[in-house]
A and B are shown apart, each in its own frame.
Chain A
Amino acid sequence: MTVTAPRARRSSVARFVAAYGQEIVIACALIALFIVVSAINPRFLGANNVNTIVSGNAYIAVAAIGMSMIIITGHIDVSVGALIGVLATISGTLAVSGYPVWVAWTAPIFIGAAINGGVGALVAYGRLPSIVVTLGMLSILRGGLVSSTGGAWINDLPPAFQIAQARWFGAPAPIWFMVILTVLAFLWMKNTAFGRSLYAIGGNAEAARAAGIPVERRTVQVFMIHGAFAGIATMLFATQLRVIQSTVPPNLELTIITASVIGGVSILGGTGTVIGSTLAAVLFAAIGSAMIFVNVSAYWLRAVIGLLILVTVLADMARRNREFWSNQR
């Protein structure tokens, strides 16, 4: 191997593109989708439709923020869908039992953090792989939910509880939650020692430990933060309708993981941003709506999303392999 020649200084644009490649790809895909679909059917771009698309799926983006942190730290959580199902039932039960609505909104955040703190402790101190612990938690939460509620729905939720229906400054409340939380989480992960330590742990846990990062404590903390985001997602999810089904939303964990991964969070840990995962969550929602507007049978929605996942991942791998080979020269 030869000594590398000093590289020509790359322009700031080139550096930006290199650092946020996947986010740019998703944003372009989103813009292209809006242009093409609204050319076919202009009603797609109506403010009402765009608001509905984004606000109805904001809870997925919010949950994907926490999931992205987990994956960046080198872990995974397949139980988050079941957790949101459990938290939604707790929240709804509190709301109909006469507690103030703010208690019903915030209780899931603390309970989510507490439950996932336990998961994090098993992963960090019990040295169990996160996929095993969360597989077990998936069973425990799903079974516990159905056996304690018997599958009954929660009806007659108080109108004040419906925060997902609220509009603040002309936009649905869930959109504000999604945008503000994404930006805050992004800045926090980029600019604070704590946030950056997550990338360090995911990139190389041993090196992070040698650099003085308390890896075990950080792991428990990031699981708790993830649980809190699942709690906020619950607040947006459970208040959408006047009823709460006491069942686990099917495939929710996979939708959330997929949003993170398509958003550019490497499943191997250490890279990715929450901007990407939020854009990906919006893209999925937009594709679902677009298919209706261009008259494609909704039955094919999942196949299209699957194809999109594969194309994005293959494009990403091709880009990385090219960078890998060009760095070898």
Chain B
Amino acid sequence: MTARGFLRHETILALLVLVALFVLDRQSDRFLTVDNLFNQGRLMTEVGLIAIVMTFVIVTGGIDLSVGSILGMTAILIGVFWKNMGLPLPAAIGMGLVVGAFAGFVNGVIITRFKVPPLIATLGTLALYRGIAEGVSEARSVRGYPEWFFVLGQGELWGAPTQLWIFAAVAIVAAVVLAYTTFGRTTYAVGSNEVAARFSGLGVDGAKIAIYSASGLAAAIAAAIFVSRVSTTRSDMGTGIELDAITAVVLGGTSIFGGRGTIIGTLLGLVLIQSLKNGLSLAGVKSDGTVVLIGAVLILTILISNLVHRDATR
């Protein structure tokens, strides 16, 4: 292993995670307990699902700001399909997932067919989807979900929180797809040089549409888990979650310019953020102080990574 290989972004980040876990463990004896870690896993799942697909989006050189709004819109629609239209809850959730994927598909079409930069396209749909959530709900929340539904967000399966299994499955599939499949290679190719990817005969537009649709679907799954976890539906759910997800992805070493990034990196970024949030609050630091630290860690990590890789990246 060469020096540069050892100083890969993911390695630096993994060391940082270990240091954080060690320090935080010294601060509180409740930190490294199974109960606490599982609980943190629950809290991490929604942003985690979104961040995993966001990794694909950012690797193609794009961005998806609309995921928080898709989450809110899907949550509201699941409530409306179930309560107001009288569908059985599983069918309502199924339709919610379809709506989420379709919302992502619309993003993909606007970006590929009309050549609108992803930042603007998803800025527009951020307002549109959140607006639909607000318009449909008229600020009323939906409550009174059946007991079995809470298994998804509050219950356990095979000894671990239910949603962690979903998260693990999505993470493994995503890691394999990005690293070992033609689709994954296409994703990197689009991000490093889109024109070259087109001339190489790769289905650039198809890949992008698939990725943005998956991003919408991930936000919709997160919505179902979110509703189940907090037992209610409100139109402002998921506001700002896009920035948390992007922070985790970028902290994980994915280049915002595209072409570089891994799922492992994103997972490390997610774990670092969540353990800082939790560990510091157990140690008595207010959660807002933690937010400051996360911002500083984001800037410093990328700065250090840039200094190490200066000649390689530019």
Give A contacts to B, CB under 8 Å: 76, 78, 122, 126-129, 131-133, 135-147, 250-251, 254, 257-258, 261, 267-268, 297, 299-307, 309-310, 313-314, 317-318, 321
Contacts and interface: CB of A to CB of B under 8 A. Distances in A.
B298 A313 contact: no
Interface residues of B, number: 48
A136 B306 contact: no
A143 B288 contact: yes
A143 B277 CA distance: 12
A306 B292 contact: no
Contacts of A136: 247, 295-296, 298-299
Nearest to A126: B303
Given A305-B131, A306-B125, A132 B250 contact: yes
A317 B126 contact: no
A205 B76 CA distance: 45
User: Looking at chain B's contact residues, is the secondary structure mostly helix, strand, loop, or mixed?
Assistant: helix
Given A138-B295, A139-B294, A303-B135, 13 more contacts: A128-B306, A131-B256, A137-B295, A138-B243, A143-B288, A143-B294, A258-B127, A268-B117, A299-B134, A307-B128, A307-B131, A313-B116, A317-B116
A139 B291 contact: yes
Given A127-B306, A131-B256, A267 B129 contact: no
Given A135-B243, A139-B295, A297-B138, A128 B303 contact: yes
B115 interface: yes
13 contacts: A127-B306, A135-B246, A136-B295, A138-B295, A147-B289, A147-B291, A251-B239, A302-B128, A303-B131, A309-B128, A310-B124, A314-B116, A317-B116
Contacts, number: 142
B243 A78 contact: yes
A254 B126 CA distance: 9
A211 to B, nearest CB: 20
A127 B131 CA distance: 37
A250 B137 CA distance: 19
Contacts of A126: 303, 306
Interface string B125-151: 111111110110111000000000000
Contacts of A257: 123
B291 A302 contact: no
Contact of A139 (B119, B132, B298): B298
B286 interface: yes
Given A140-B296, A147-B286, A317-B115, A267 B131 contact: no
The residue in B131, B137, B295, B298 that gathers the most chain A C-beta atoms within 10 A of its C-beta is: B295
